[in-house]
Structure 1
Amino acid sequence: MSANIKRFFLLITFLLLVNEIVTKFEFTNIKCTSLDTEFDDFEHCYLKSVNRTYKYMYIKVNLFQTPVTKVKVNLSLKKRFSGYKPFLYNVTVDACKFLENPTANKIVNYFYGFLTTHTNINHTCPFDTDLIFDKISSEFINHRFTNILPFPEGDYLLESNWIAYDKNRAVIKIFGTLS
């Protein structure tokens, strides 16, 4: 009987020490498509795994018709349920107006927070240089996906359509798993 009591107290102690479930985000794929190669093209679009714990995303878009003064971005978050289905967010924002006042749209500001420290898209229009998303790490995304606004576990797709002068110019699809 005393062995069972010891096991019971060891189990209770273990459960009290493990009081938090840890989730982890990992990139699984990225696809960048230019829909108008006379307007823009992707010089780089890849995931790089430095080691088992550090993986990052790098994107460089060459703009051929600068300055760009009219840009909209459509963001769609999808979760895999027998194919990728819409999940929570599908928003379109005028990027030039948004960058003048990022706090005006809380949802878009949340997604913009994924980029602010890793991109040169941190100023208002016009855009007259190539766009760079530099070393956005899975650890950084993990922090935003689990601590700032927790999401349930699963496979996700963040699809962004970049619309300049009312014409869809590029599509970026970022795939990841939250486990």
Structure 2
Amino acid sequence: MDIFLYNFFVKMIISGLLLLGCCFVWPGMHAQLVYKLVKIDCQGNSARVNNISCHVKAINWNMAVVNMDCFLIVPLRKAVLQVQVFKKDYSNQYKPFLVDVSINMCEIIERRSYIPYGVIIWKLLKQYTNANHSCPFSGQMTARNGYLDTSLVPPFPQGFYLISISFTDMNSSHSEYVGTAKFYIQAMDQIRTKKRPKT
């Protein structure tokens, strides 16, 4: 039991130092990091949501945006999000990476909670979706031209990531799965195109 706890704390300290090191090293780097959306996958509970549509639209070499639509058959009264981040390793498998958190979005919106990941998601929802109001959520939900701004999150090491967000409606007696959105993202240096001189 002691060895397990020791290994757990060592891993947590190393992860924290890695993240802290990235934050200190990042400002001195010359290339600008971008998070480019590569693919999106949306799934839903057919009893709760229908007409699900998710698309990625490429803008340029450095940026793609997401457009999403769905219709909530049953209002989402107490939205709880499970946010997980995975990083693709050398064997092409996605492995857990630093973030696995449950967020009560209604508490974030009402400013009764300030979980950093919840605050980031709320900023994105306010900017790119019509879910920019207090709970509950109902009817047609849309997201237009959404992307992950590098100013909102600490810099991740370059590579491919999967950000999975599962939506659950939770009340005092039970919880019910609503849907999942999986965002496949590449953390990379910004590609600078050389402009040809005008003739």
* TM-score, L = length of structure 1: 0.76
Hey, what's the Cα distance between the residues in 1 that align with 2:112 and 2:87? 26
Note if contact 1:59-1:132 (Cα within 8 Å) is conserved in structure 2: yes
- 1:39 deviates by 0.9
Q: Which amino acid aligns with 2:128?
A: H
Unmatched segments (≥5 aa) in structure 1: 1-17
Decide which of 66, 80, 84 is 1:76's aligned counterpart. 84
Corresponding position of 2:195 = none
Q: Which amino acid aligns with 1:176?
A: I
Corresponding position of 2:161 = 156
Corresponding position of 2:74 = 65
Q: Which amino acid aligns with 1:131?
A: M
Greater C-alpha radius of gyration: 1
Decide which of 36, 46, 50 is 2:55's aligned counterpart. 46
Note if contact 1:42-1:59 (Cα within 8 Å) is conserved in structure 2: no
Unmatched segments (≥5 aa) in structure 2: 1-27, 189-199
Note if contact 1:161-1:172 (Cα within 8 Å) is conserved in structure 2: yes
Distance 1:70 1:79, change over 3 A: same
Look up the SS of the partner of 2:127 in the other structure: helix
- 1:107 deviates by 2.6
Q: How many residues align?
A: 155
Hey, what's the Cα distance between the residues in 2 that align with 1:24 and 1:95? 26
- 1:106 deviates by 1.8
Corresponding position of 2:115 = 105
Note the alpha carbon deviations across 1:93-151, whole angstroms, 9 max, x for none. 122222111762123212333332111222111112322121114xxx24336xx5211
Over the aligned positions, Cα root-mean-square deviation in angstroms equals 2.2
Hey, what's the Cα distance between the residues in 1 that align with 2:164 and 2:29? 35
Corresponding position of 1:144 = 151
Note if contact 2:128-2:146 (Cα within 8 Å) is conserved in structure 1: yes
- Runs of 4+ deviating beyond 4 Å: 50-54
* TM-score, L = length of structure 2: 0.69
